[in-house]
Structure 1
Amino acid sequence: MQAHAATLSSAVAPDTLLPLAIGIAAPVLALLVAASVVWLLRRNRLLLLRILDQPNERSLHQAPVPRTGGVGVLLGAAGGLALTLPWLLAPAAGWSVASLVLATALLAGVSLLDDHHHVPARYRLAAQLTAAALALVAGVAWRALGLPGLGGLLLPGWLAPALTLVLIVWIINLYNFMDGMDGLAGGMAVIGFGALAVLGMLAGAADYALVAAVIAAAAGGFLVHNLPRAGIFLGDVGSTVLGFWAAVLLLWGAGRGLFPLWLGLLVFSPFLVDATWTLLRRLARGAPVWQAHREHHYQRLVLAGWSTRRTLFWAYVLMGAAAASAIGARDLTAPEQWLLLAGWAGLYGLVHLRVDLVERGQSAAPDRP
């Protein structure tokens, strides 16, 4: 497994330089392909992929909407990355890349089937665990603690694979949980993967930065069709794959020493914190964890009277602030980084209180004179 990690960490072919034109063309191609495919899906021009999202107990929409936008993201990212392969891929990294491609295809296939005909949770979980195991085979693993000042503290060899599987599966699912409002998951992908691309460039890892930038661009091609009022949804095929690649790039970047793991987690903390808090809140009162619900912060705000656009605006502000903090934190000392983390913990506490206040205000409104 360590050998695979080495090849993945040196995926750029030796003695070659990535042409600037390719570095620009690949994200542009990803954006155009994704936007075009999603346009076709939105207008039901691809009948084999005509799957509608019917309103249910966790939905915020009132009418059926196509839910295969993730196919466009996949095809856009695939097209953009394929363009770079002659310059990007070292021959020794072929097995690692093949493992990640296979994991992506497995997740996409099972999720697309789930979008069309419900797949039992145990089979979806099995697919997610298999994809996470394939990432391990590719050399993607959580090896160091990754906290400020403790980045060099290695995890025990027996613990690292288990934590890697848990982290990847959790991020896959939380991304799926958070895909419940127009523009939210797509916006997190554009901002989150865009921030990882910046971190890669600042660390001098052009290959890593390009992969992240291509995924961000493909998500952008989808997002233009998904802003309120959305004409198409991401669907499980998009949310699970984006969650998988978020986990892969976080662990890959940390494993290469481009940034500590906590910094990458901060980038996606708007999703990580909301989904984890909601899960723990439901567990505390004995509610079924995997049952569909509308208890995430963004859902509660909309149900309490905020418009989707207002909720999305503040979600983007939070995402942008988290991304900017992560990028700026690279040059801070360890005590300063701990102070930053404490500040973000306090901020998320305030977000939770703010949501509670909005709900209380909405419930009290009818009683006002």
Structure 2
Amino acid sequence: MSVWWLLPLVVGFSFFLTAALRRYALARSMMDVPNERSSHSVPTPRGGGVAIVITFLFSLVFLCWTGWIDMAFFIGAFGTGAIVAVIGFMDDHGHIAARWRLLGHFVAGGWALFWLGGLPELEAAGVALHLGWIGGAFALFYLVWMLNLYNFMDGIDGIASVEAVCACLGVCILYGVSGHQALIWAPLFMAAAVAGFLIWNFPPAKIFMGDAGSGFLGIMLGVFSLQAANVDSRLFWVWIILLGVFIVDATFTLLRRLARGDKVYEAHRSHAYQYASRQYGRHLPVTMTVLLINMLWLLPIAFSVIRFNVDGVLATIVAYVPLLVMALKYHAGELEPKVISAKH
């Protein structure tokens, strides 16, 4: 049974559901009001990422029912996504203490790993790594970090949506090139679900994603990468490369703030992409630059891992060095001048 015909319906369903959520947010005054930590200047409805969650989870049900994804992956992905989305939805509508959010994130990650079978054997620098329970612990922290870094990086119009669409469509191409077409369906339907929302979220955004959507995307992309690694370890490095913009900016910023002794769970706007958006005075140039980096730099490097069997670790280093230079250029993790002056 072909499911290609369903993709336009998924995009349309996500689009109209986002519109409905926007009307609901406006009616209930669920607005993201700008403050000193915001990267936007106009009050904007929030919570639109719920459209991505609902659309994709319905898609998973259909894909499992028609046999395009296996039951273990369905149970793991559906349960993990639902847990994270509920936590994010509750936090969007009130406040959940950071420790309880984090506990929920680890539970969700553990659920996914149970059904995926943990971290598979990975090949790094030509060496096969059998990490056992250490690998399982690493995979759990990896999933939780992917969830949170995506939340951190969802700070300007369209950037999180564009990153997800680029990564998912890019990896679908590489799944096809590597002969692993069976893996295509989940990321392809995720791209379609995000595309419907992106129409509303593209700069200037008419609605924001919210924690329910950003956390859901982060952990689901992590789940996709571990699913792929179980089939071909090269595909794990492909995902790490394709998500390089978010991984480098978020990780470098976090390490810099940790070294300075900041409370890393507190809101801030010291990511490189946030500094860049303020420098250029608009979100659109930054979001479009992320798209171009993904398609013109990261995708070709990921392609080399699959087509020319370039070592995944080496390819990741090559991909990340310019991203790290850009993070430094745009002051990732540095205190804003006004914050510095306030301390003196």
User: 1:236: Cα distance to partner?
Assistant: 0.5
Which sections of structure 1, spanning at least 5 residues, go unmatched?
Answer: 1-18, 364-369
Q: C-alpha separation between the residues in 2 aligned to 1:125 and 1:232?
A: 26
| Match for residue 59 of structure 2 among 58, 80, 95 | 80
User: 1:146: Cα distance to partner?
Assistant: 3.7
| Match for residue 33 of structure 2 among 45, 51, 54 | 54
**TM-score, with normalisation over the residues of structure 1?**
0.83
The DSSP-based 3-state class of the residue aligned with 1:88 is: coil
User: 1:202: Cα distance to partner?
Assistant: 2.5
Q: Does 1:349 align with 2:329?
A: no
The DSSP-based 3-state class of the residue aligned with 2:183 is: helix
**Cα separation, partners in 2 of 1:71 and 1:349, compared to 1, 3 Å:** closer
**Cα separation, partners in 2 of 1:167 and 1:274, compared to 1, 3 Å:** same
Of the structure 1 ranges 307-316 and 206-215, higher mean CA displacement relative to structure 2 is found in: 307-316
**Cα separation, partners in 2 of 1:122 and 1:28, compared to 1, 3 Å:** same
Q: Deviations over 1:202-223 (max 9, x none)?
A: 3333332011100011111111
Q: 1:26 maps to which residue?
A: 6
Of the structure 1 ranges 58-67 and 32-41, higher mean CA displacement relative to structure 2 is found in: 58-67
Q: C-alpha separation between the residues in 2 aligned to 1:125 and 1:319?
A: 29
Percent identity of equivalent pairs: 31
| Match for residue 252 of structure 1 among 209, 223, 227 | 227
User: 1:274: Cα distance to partner?
Assistant: 0.4
The answer to whether the Cα contact below 8 Å between 1:33 and 1:79 also exists between their aligned partners in 2 is no
Q: Does 1:163 align with 2:142?
A: no
**Cα separation, partners in 2 of 1:99 and 1:251, compared to 1, 3 Å:** closer
Of the structure 1 ranges 110-119 and 340-349, higher mean CA displacement relative to structure 2 is found in: 340-349
The answer to whether the Cα contact below 8 Å between 1:58 and 1:292 also exists between their aligned partners in 2 is yes
1:1-369 equivalences in 2 (<5 Å): 19=1, 21-22=2-3, 24-44=4-24, 51-88=30-67, 93-150=70-127, 152-155=128-131, 157-257=132-232, 259-320=234-295, 321-334=297-310, 340-356=315-331
Q: C-alpha separation between the residues in 1 aligned to 2:215 and 2:310?
A: 33
**Cα separation, partners in 2 of 1:332 and 1:338, compared to 1, 3 Å:** farther
**Cα separation, partners in 2 of 1:318 and 1:215, compared to 1, 3 Å:** same
**TM-score, with normalisation over the residues of structure 2?**
0.89
Letter in 2 for 1:71: V
The DSSP-based 3-state class of the residue aligned with 1:307 is: coil
**Cα separation, partners in 2 of 1:122 and 1:230, compared to 1, 3 Å:** same
User: 1:228: Cα distance to partner?
Assistant: 1.1
The answer to whether the Cα contact below 8 Å between 1:301 and 1:355 also exists between their aligned partners in 2 is yes
Q: Deviations over 1:133-188 (max 9, x none)?
A: 101111252232342423x3221x22122111100000000000000000100000
User: 1:311: Cα distance to partner?
Assistant: 1.6
Letter in 2 for 1:328: S
The DSSP-based 3-state class of the residue aligned with 1:101 is: helix
**Cα separation, partners in 2 of 1:120 and 1:216, compared to 1, 3 Å:** same
**Structure number with larger C-alpha Rg:** 1
Q: CA RMSD in A?
A: 2.5
Q: Deviations over 1:89-128 (max 9, x none)?
A: 57xx535522332222111111101000011111111110
Q: C-alpha separation between the residues in 1 aligned to 2:253 and 2:61?
A: 38
The answer to whether the Cα contact below 8 Å between 1:172 and 1:242 also exists between their aligned partners in 2 is yes
Which sections of structure 2, spanning at least 5 residues, go unmatched?
Answer: 339-344
Q: C-alpha separation between the residues in 2 aligned to 1:137 and 1:282?
A: 33
Letter in 1 for 2:12: L
